[in-house]
Each structure stands twice: as C-alpha cells, then as structure tokens.
Amino acid sequence: MKKIKLGTSNLEVGEIALGCMRMDRLTKKEATYVIENAMDAGVDLFDHADIYGKGKSEEVFADAIMSPSMREKMVLQTKCGIRKGYFDFSKEHILASVDDSLKRLKTDYIDVLLLHRPDTLMEPEEVAEAFTTLKENGKVRHFGVSNQNPLQMELLKKYMKQDLIINQMQLSLMHTPMIDAGFNVNMQNNPAIVRDSGVLEYSRLNDMTIQAWSPFQYGMIEGPFIGNPDYPEVNAKLQEMAEKKGVTDSAIAIAWILRHPANIQPVVGTMNPQRLTNIAKASDVTLTREEWYELYRAAGNDLP
C-alpha cells in the first residue's frame, strides 16, 4: 500500500486507515485476525474513540494484539470529547479520557489524539494546557480535530504550541458538500452553499490531513450506497470501473477519494477481513481525471 505523511508530522502511514468502532462486537480471536489481516494489507493506522463500544472497542483491540513489538508497527489514534448528551473539551475531561484510553489500549502513548466533534463551550486555553501536559508527559505525540471548520481550528491554534495534523470529516462519493461548494461559486443553487467555511482548501493550505469517515455511507450515516438499489446510476458506474480495473466496487469508491490531491485518508470501518483486503487494493488504482468526474456525475451531481 502507498504511504502518506500525516499533516506536518513525521508519521508515515498506509493511505487507508481502519476504524475500530465496531470492534467491540468481535471475539479476541476474530479481532486478532482482523488486525493482522489489516497490517498484512498495509493498513497500519487504527482509529479509536473513547465512546466506541463505551470503551470496549479499545479493550478488545488491545487484548487481541497488543505487545511491545506490535505496538511499534502501528499508529494508534483515539478521540475524546463526546459525553452522554453533551460535548466536553475541558482540560479535566481530556486528561482523564486519555488516561482511560491508555489503560484500555495497554500502551504508554497515543500517536494521535483528536477532539471528537466541536464543543461550542470550548475554552481554547484549557485545551491547549491539556495538550501541552499530554505532550510533555509523553502520553500523546500529535493532535488533531474532528468535524471542525477553519475558524474553529484557528481559534484553537491561537493557543496551541503543537500543530493540528488531522481533521476527520465525513466524505464519500455520495456525501460531497466540501467538494460541491467549490464547483458552484457565486451561484444560487443548493450545492453553492458553503457549509464548512472552505475546509478542503484550508486543509491544503495548512498541510493538514483530512481523514474521510463513513466513505461508503450516504446522508448522515443513513446506510451504505454500495449495492443500494436506490442509487442505480452510481453503482452501475462503480461496477463498470471495477471490472475494468480488476477490483471491487468498494475499492473504486475508495480510489475516488484517494484521487483527490488534498492528502485525504479514508477511514474504513469494516470488520470483514476479506472485504478490507479487497478495499486495500484501491491503493493500486489511479483514476483518470475523466473517470473521477464520471463517478462524481453518476452520484447525482451536476457541473455548472
């Protein structure tokens, strides 16, 4: 699998990551197979969050694979900030959440910590203090955010000593608002609405990695569009290109994301080892400019 650099850090990882939200449903044996299969395919960044399985996903992951030798071969990322009914970016919660994740993951450090969703009550000075404490104590090496717009990140960066290297955003062939707005500048149609303050361009200007979550979902995690009879045109085009390239339709959907020059890393959440192996082959597929636009139009998008 091709490698990418995460933001301004020195971390080089496979260009596709594995999201571990559903790992709490697996046995130790199943989880071990999923993780080992992922690494064999070149996937070495594993994305967690303190709320996934109420912490059990991190526990299952660690019980399945964690050892000093394996730890050095992978990049562990986790998220914090979502609590029952509210968001919490307080220094106290960030520090406690990281300590809990470290225990569950059976490791001394987290490679990347992301703030999970924006907290409008965020006091950036507190967040910066928490990040500095975690960095100086060796508990977290790099930091990022999730689902934030440029001004939210700028507010945080005003007080931080470290770089924000990642912004995790929803993006799939059937969920493209950050791309749509760029095509429809100064127009009065719905795609012209800038919903994220130009986060795609901001990330490129600031050398941040966008991690695309739910790369097979449509709407707000309403379900997969791959093989969905409600979306015949895009599935027909995906299947056509899959046959042409000798990969699966899911691999083509991921290759479509990878084709964008914005250093986007898809985070796939499958716990099916064979499906992940097939998806990982997207790294060997390079769509032409014409093919990329064919898929974009097949997904129901009109170019101005």
- Positions marked catalytic: 52
- Structure tokens belonging to residue 78: 């986790």
- In angstroms, the Cα distances linking 238 to 226, 232, 248, 257 are 9, 10, 8, 13
How many residues are there in the chain? 304
Among 262, 266, 299, 292, smallest CA distance to 281 is for 266
Residues of 73-101 as b/e, b for ≥16 C-beta within 10 angstroms? ebbbbbbbbbeeeebbbbbebbbebbeeb
Q: How far apart (Å, rounded) are the C-alpha atoms in residues 151 and 283?
A: 32
φ/ψ of residue 18, rounded to 5: -110, 120
Q: How far apart (Å, rounded) are the C-alpha atoms in residues 11 and 5?
A: 6
Residues with Cβ within 8 Å of 223's Cβ and at least 6 positions away in sequence, in order, are 217
